[in-house]
Structure 1
Amino acid sequence: MTTVSAATADQPDRVSTRVSIALLGVRSDAPVRRTGGAGPSDDGHFVVDGDGAAIPLNPASPYVVTSQGRLTLEGADLGFDVSPVARPRFYDLATAEGVSYDRIAKLHGRNVLATTVVQTCVRYDESERCRFCAIQSSLDAGTTIAVKTPAMLAEVAEAAVRLDGVTHMVMTTGTSNGWDRGAKHLARCVRAVKAAVPSLEIQVQCEPPADLRAITDLYAAGARSIGIHVESMDDEVRRRWMPGKSRVSLDEYREAWREAVRVFGWNQVSTYLIVGMGEDESELVDAAAELIDMGVYPFVVPFRPLKGTLATDVDHVPAPHRAVLNRITARVAALLQAAGMRGEDQRAGCAACGACSVLKTAGA
């Protein structure tokens, strides 16, 4: 007779609950939160059963985080330990020029330092802009600076590791006009941070560079994981949601992913797939299967309304239905499990953190 552990038996319910709070949010305060920017949402940062989680703060949500650190629905305890991430100590510091550290890099999830090294994008004109992105809104609000120098990032990273136990770092960038699409500045920043904090693992994120040698340059600088984010592998969806970025063909993405896997290794390359942009469910899962076969981790996240984006402010696109996200998460998690691919096995970055997705809860 086959026995099933309690943890395995109730996994579907736990995944369903994580899907629900990812979309509906929670009623709680969160000292560490993120508003605006490149996405994926306006979130508070929590630790849920020991893992980082980025969850929308919604005063109308039926889900409540109690003062005892439990997640409840209509007063019923749902079996999750939930606590807000404490405000990091490095936020209290500033550079000699008076730039506060939290305008240079942010704490994400439980132990990830994240920064956008160039907070502008050549595709930000309304006719070109990705409709889910608000990369320049935080710059317009004065909560960040346009360009983070390598020296600044090294200074902040050292403090974040020393004071707050940060274990890995994500560096992303707006796209530049150059052949490298921003990779050259990323490499300079990685090199400086690794010189200051050799133990800190770093993921870089950029569009496919026109010259794929830039991928080797990023690895040589010290990055050990890379995100090359396509968001959708449906060309019709890409043209509608990413009019500028969609001119970088899917074949260029495939070439970049293959080269990145060659350089960084199997399961050290990832890409976002966003649920809720109108893509067929089965086609999205098929796209995830193709990525997995290449050794690329498909980081499945829901579209969630983000202030400052065209999708939210102009198109009024809602988040996807919970049932849709639940089904897709379960199907992609099963593919990842069959391939032996786990996000937490990446050296650094979004998949390693897992806070913005439900895949980790689903066992991937």
Structure 2
Amino acid sequence: MSSSTRVDVAIQGIRLLDAPVARRAGAGPSDDGHVLLDGVGAAIPLNPRSPYTVSGGRLLLDGADTGMGVEAVARPRFYDLRTADGVPYEQIARLHSARVLATTVVQTCVRYDEAERCRFCAIEESLRQGSTIAVKTPAMIAEVARAAHELDGITQMVMTTGTSNGRDRGATHLARCVRAVREVLPDLPIQVQCEPPASLETIQELYDAGARSIGIHVESLDDGVRRRWMPGKGSVPLAEYRAAWVEAVRVFGWNQVSTYLLVGLGEDPDELVAGAEELIAMGVYPFVVPFRPLAGTLATDVDRVPAPPSDVLHHVTARVAAALRRAGMHGAGQAAGCAACGACSALSCEGA
């Protein structure tokens, strides 16, 4: 697969894409359809103005075959089920790519007031649209995970959460949910995602619960960018992130800790790459993805910020991938999580 084409599709999306597995709004990259590009999972924006289309299982650019095959991920069978209380399973957890189950265990965030909200985030929009529920109980998540494993063959799971008021910032409920899933699926790899907890002992608790990788997502290492884009989350000092990453690497191991780095927030590309290299030296995988305009976010509805240029994203992705390769660090080496899945980034196309 051409990495430049993969990057361009990540920015421009695909027009008229029939994607049975798709996501609108939410805590992370969404408004996308999940497909296999040359057999590799990819979450691609659904863009009615994209020059890319699909015909006969081929990806076309302005009508010309790019040489890349496209196959939509089939709707999973567990989506047709409900709990005894009548809650649809797909409101509890969703399929990402072809074999990853993902859930936001708490769909609200203490930082969602407009003055504090991350401008790229729409975590509560899916709740307002009625496509999810506010809090998923451990029992609910375990029930859905078992069904998704038995019916659709999921091979890993990702659990994230909105930030809470507590010192744990939501990690305690994550740990309960992990334990519940491990009781019914003891061999299923699980990644958890949260802000740095106030007490670093919480990281050990997440591991002891059964999580085998962790994402502590900073999005940007530039304090100016953090203040503009994440006024609430940006109030957590980078020193707390670094301390949490160090402890997480100690607990979970080298290349079992990751963080998102978003391209397109106004950061200097060279500084972003240098920051990624610092993370790699710590044993943390920098998961480089483009900022994606998303309806319902302040960045799109108010600021009208576009996606980054494809050439900038490709340049940054290639340089970070080269640093990852030099370190022998690969997303596929993570037990579970976004880097292990790889659908939202082009790093895997660059051998990382």
- TM-score tier, shorter chain, comes to over 0.9
Distance 2:124 2:329 in 1: 34
Corresponding residue number in structure 1 for 2:186: 198
What whole-Å deviation, never above 9, does each CA across 1:85-134 have from its counterpart, x for those lacking one? 00000000000000000000000011100000000000000001000001
- Cα distance in structure 2, aligned partners of 1:226 and 1:239: 25
Provide the residue aligned with 2:165 in structure 1: 177
TM-score, with normalisation over the residues of structure 1? 0.95
CA shift for structure 1 position 304 = 0.9
Where do residues 102-251 of structure 1 align in structure 2 (5 Å cutoff)? 102-251=90-239
Instruction: Provide the C-alpha distance between the structure 1 equivalents of 2:333 and 2:141, rounded to a whole number of angstroms.
Output: 25
Partner of 1:322: 310
Q: Is contact 1:41–1:305 with CA below 8 Å preserved after alignment? A: no
Letter aligned with residue 121 of structure 1:
C
Please tell me the residue identity of whatever aligns with 2:41: G
Q: Describe the SS at the equivalent of 2:234.
A: helix
Q: Corresponding residue for 1:269? A: 257
TM-score by length of 2: 0.99
Find the counterpart in structure 2 of residue 260 from structure 1.
Answer: 248
| AA in 2 matched with 1:355 | A
Structure 2 unaligned regions, length at least 5:
none
SS of the residue 2:157 aligns to: strand
1:37: which partner in 2? 26
Aligned match of 1:287:
275
> Partners in 2 of 1:104 and 1:132 — Cα distance?
23
Residue in structure 2 matched with residue 7 of structure 1 by the alignment: none
| Deviations 1:20-62 (CA, angstroms, capped at 9, x unpaired) | 1101111211011001011223100001122210001122211
Structure 1 residue runs of 4 or more that deviate by more than 6 Å after TM superposition = none
Corresponding position of 1:306: 294
Quote the residue 1:360 is aligned against.
Answer: 348
The AA in structure 2 aligned to 1:51 is: V
Aligned residue for 1:274, secondary structure, equals: strand
The answer on whether the counterparts of 1:35 and 1:41 sit within 8 Å (CA) in structure 2 is: yes
> Retained in 2: the 8 A contact 1:29–1:57?
no
| Partner amino acid, structure 2, of 1:354 | G
Q: Once the 2 structures are TM-superposed, how far is the Cα of residue 198 of structure 1 from its aligned partner?
A: 1.1
Shift of 1:363: 1.0
Higher deviation after alignment, 30-39 or 55-64: 55-64
Give me the whole-angstrom Cα distance separating, in 1, the residues matched to 2:47 and 2:121: 21
Q: Secondary structure at the match of 1:83?
A: strand
Q: What letter matches 1:315 in structure 2? A: D
Q: What secondary structure does 1:95 align onto?
A: coil
- Residue 130 of structure 1 aligns to a residue whose secondary structure is coil
2:282, 2:72 → 1: CA distance? Answer: 36
Partner Cα distance (2:296, 2:183) in 1: 36
Amino acid at match of 2:302: V
> What letter matches 1:311 in structure 2?
A
Q: Distance in 2 between matches of 1:255 and 1:43?
A: 34
Instruction: Tell me the residue number matched to 1:48.
Output: 37
Q: Considering only aligned residues, what root-mean-square deviation do their CA atoms show, in Å? A: 0.8
Distance 2:274 2:294 in 1: 27
CA distance in 2, matches of 1:213, 1:157: 27
Find 2:52's aligned residue among 32, 42, 63. Answer: 63
Amino acid at match of 1:44: G
Q: Distance in 1 between matches of 2:298 and 2:200?
A: 31
Counterparts of 2:54 and 2:317, CA distance in 1 = 24
- What displacement does 1:355 show? 0.3
Distance 2:115 2:35 in 1: 36
Structure 2 Cα separation of the partners of residues 117 and 194 of structure 1: 15
SS at match of 2:159: strand
Contact 1:106 1:115 in 2 (8 A): yes
Where 1:361 maps in the other structure, the secondary structure is helix
C-alpha distance in structure 2 between counterparts of 1:266 and 1:178, whole Å: 28
Shift of 1:76: 2.1
Deviation at 1:154, TM superposition (A): 0.3
Any stretches of 5+ residues in structure 1 without a counterpart? Answer: 1-10
